Structure 1
Amino acid sequence: MKKVSLLFAILLSGSAFAQTTEPTYAEKLGYPKGKKVLIIHVDDVGMSYESNQGAIKAIREGVANSLSVMMPCGWVPGFVHYWKENRDIDAGLHLTMTSEWKDYRWGPLAGKNQVKGLTDPEGALWRGVADVVKNASPGEVETEIRAQLERARTMGFEPTHLDSHMGTLFATPEFLERYLKVGMQEKIPVMFPGGHNTAIRGEEKMIDKQFEMTQNVGKQLWAAGLPVLDDLENTSYGWKGPENGDKSAKALQQYKTAKYIEAIGKLKPGLTMVIMHCTVHTEVFPQISDSWPTREGDFLAMIDPELRKYIEKEGIILTTWREAMQRRQKVK
């Protein structure tokens, strides 16, 4: 589901932040000045067979180049077993504190007794972010983050990065602190927009104090030896499909490709993560979620030759979290 109000339930103090002309984080990592550098990222891998296949094919046959895995979900082994034979795929953890669907649920990996505040009356994770905020402690959130990382490592899967399902880990300052803490302690890059934030600032209608906070966190992550995003493009989940209601594959592909070209065209230079959710078509996934048109549309856009032509024509650089971390390790 769409990440909720990324950072921006957080109350801040301080003065308005004046933008500077400092180099972008992309430039600091050695990418050419003035270039758009994209991590085209697929969320929700491991959630279902369709999610696995959509992500893998979006990378193998299309322009997507990164993904993240929901470790509490039932199709995680299906992806991890594939990844262990295809370790070139840039794969992180989609840290999961919610279980949002009606009939398809999952529970915390730390176990109910260890994280009672994260567990709803059905024994699953809460459906909504607000429920997590109301019931779970920061300590329980950190316990579950570490349990999900531990399961990945037990399976032989070392993630290239961390991010947050439904934005739950950005919902309070205390949750955010635990998320950043684990990334910095474990030396794993974390998804956090700490640069000029042009796209996400507009989407979230950030006030100056919020923007200043993102700058400060970005500097903290960089000082800890981690790469930092200049921006985040996170609007695709809201692109529901053609206004005429046509949900054919051709119509979804044309619609989503056009939307991605428009969104990428508006981005400023720097390292930007573009978030999406990709599924292949089956009769089953619509029984999980009515979000299937936007997810199938994302997949179809990623494999559309027109999107690849646009990226190549514009001279856009595609990179991964793995490469960004490798570059960061070379910077003094």
Structure 2
Amino acid sequence: MNVAQALGYSADDRLFIVNADDYGLCHSTNTGIQKLLIDGVISSATLMMPCSWAREAALWSARHAHMDVGVHFTFTSEWDMMKWGPVNRHGAIDTLVTHEGYFPKDVKSFERQADPEQVRGELEAQVRMAITLGVGLTHADNHMGSLYGLQTGRHFLNETLDVCAKYGLPFRLPRNLLLENGQVAPAELAEQARKHAEAADAKGVVVLDYLLGLPFRSEGNDTFDMYKSQMIALLGNLHAGVSEIIIHPSFVTDELRAFHDAPARRGMELELFRDPDIQETIRKESLIPVRWRQLRDLQRGLMIP
């Protein structure tokens, strides 16, 4: 029985979740994501606990406990004008930071230098901070894919899955790997994804069937119509099972422009799932929205002796 069937759907149903990443990044991002959550435009969001505006986002989420909010495990700090570092105050963190005390800017540097046990400690610290602030976490995922070993092959999924199992959190890990164009990945990469998913199964952590999003690389002349066309194509090609679609929405303000190199894109992603053509595509394709909360409840139910 696959996850869709365990949730009460048929094996042929196409289920989807829309998650807003980078919640807590800044005030403009927080207010944009909160608007989408309130309006029911997105399914969920994930919190970057090391960021300076995470507390605002967490306290709001605690007051809106019916919203699905997870933790966006963060180990990189990519912007030159705004930085963050570990939240762990009770353990070693020296392999997780640069000489300035911040997380590395890029994933490759993190993968090369991080000690797995220090990663484990920081994973737990980020979860505990969210819980301490009152967030009823529904799931977990990973900022910039730093835990997957995508750059050097040195992954931290064992530690991540242990922490997710301990706190009863499903994790953003696709059982079936797709390329950016939606096609199935080469056999070697696909086999790696299946093995990671089997490791999650063994630890009782519920994972996705597919993970999708718009291309991360910007051509510099992107338009809303371009993004809309790409999203409509993505939705039209969803496979049977549970897919998560990642977006990075934000209000575009002076605050965002002060550090972000593509603020307009975040503003366009704020509007994507409000668009009537995208909503019509969802209806026409008979896609079924589900929530991370359902996957969390499934996982916690499976963990009962």
Same-fold status (TM-score > 0.5): yes
Letter in 2 for 1:280: F
Query: In the superposition, relative to structure 1, how do residues 204 and 296 fare at CA in structure 2: closer, same or farther (>3 Å)?
Result: same
Report the CA distance between 1:173 and its aligned residue.
4.5
Per-residue CA deviation, residues 158-200 of structure 1 (Å, 9 max, x unaligned), is 3111111110111244412111121123221111111x43x34
1:43 pairs, out of 12, 17, 21, with 21
Q: Does residue 73 of structure 1 match 2:51?
A: yes
Verify: 1:103 aligned to 2:81, yes or no: yes
Percent identity over the alignment is 27
Contact 2:96/2:110 (8 A) holds in 1: yes
Identify unmatched segments of 5+ residues in structure 1.
1-22, 246-250
Give the Å deviation of 1:203.
6.4
Alpha-carbon distance, 1:67 to partner: 0.9
Q: 2: CA distance between counterparts of 1:139 and 1:224?
A: 18
- In structure 2, runs of 5+ residues without a counterpart are none
* Matched AA of 1:278: P
8 Å CA contact 2:170, 2:299 repeated in 1 = no
**C-alpha distance 213-29 of structure 1, shift in aligned 2 (>3 A):** farther
- The aligned amino acid for 2:159 is R
Cα distance, 1:237 vs. partner? 2.9
Partner of 1:149: 127
Query: In the TM superposition, what are the counterparts of 1:268-279 in structure 2 within 5 Å?
Result: 268-279=239-250
Aligned-partner Cα distance in 2 for 1:318–1:82: 24
Q: Counterparts of 2:17 and 2:78 in 1: how far apart (Å)?
A: 26
SS at match of 1:191: strand
Matched-pair contact (CA < 8 Å) for 2:214–2:227: no
Q: Distance in 2 between matches of 1:70 and 1:283?
A: 21
1:324 to 283, 295, 299: 295
Alignment equivalent of 1:63, drawn from 18, 41, 44: 41
After superposition, the CA RMSD in angstroms is: 2.4
SS at match of 1:237: coil
1:71 Cα offset (Å)? 0.1
Equivalent position SS for 1:32 = coil
Mean alpha-carbon deviation: is it higher for 271-280 or for 203-212?
A: 203-212
Per-residue deviation, residues 272-297 of structure 1 (Å, max 9, x unmatched): 01111001121221111112122111
Q: Write the letter of the residue equivalent to 2:191.
A: E
What secondary structure, in the 3-state scheme, does the structure 2 residue paired with 1:170 have? coil
1:224-303 aligned at under 5 Å gives the runs 224-238=203-217, 243=221, 251-252=223-224, 254-303=225-274
Q: Within the alignment, does 1:32 sit opposite 2:3 as a pair?
A: no
- What's the CA shift for 1:32? 2.6
**How far apart, CA to CA, are the structure 2 residues paired with 1:182 and 1:220?**
13
For 1:34, what is the secondary structure of its paired residue? coil
1:312 and 2:286 are equivalent in the alignment: no
Structure 1 position 162 matched with structure 2 position 140: yes
Relative distance call for 1:169 and 1:188 in structure 2 (3 A) is same
Q: 1:330 to 1:143 in 2, by over 3 A?
A: closer
> 2:216 aligns to what SS in structure 1?
helix
Q: Distance in 2 between matches of 1:212 and 1:234?
A: 21
Structure 2 Cα separation of the partners of residues 166 and 112 of structure 1: 25
Which residue is 1:211 aligned to?
A: 190
| Aligned pairs, number | 300
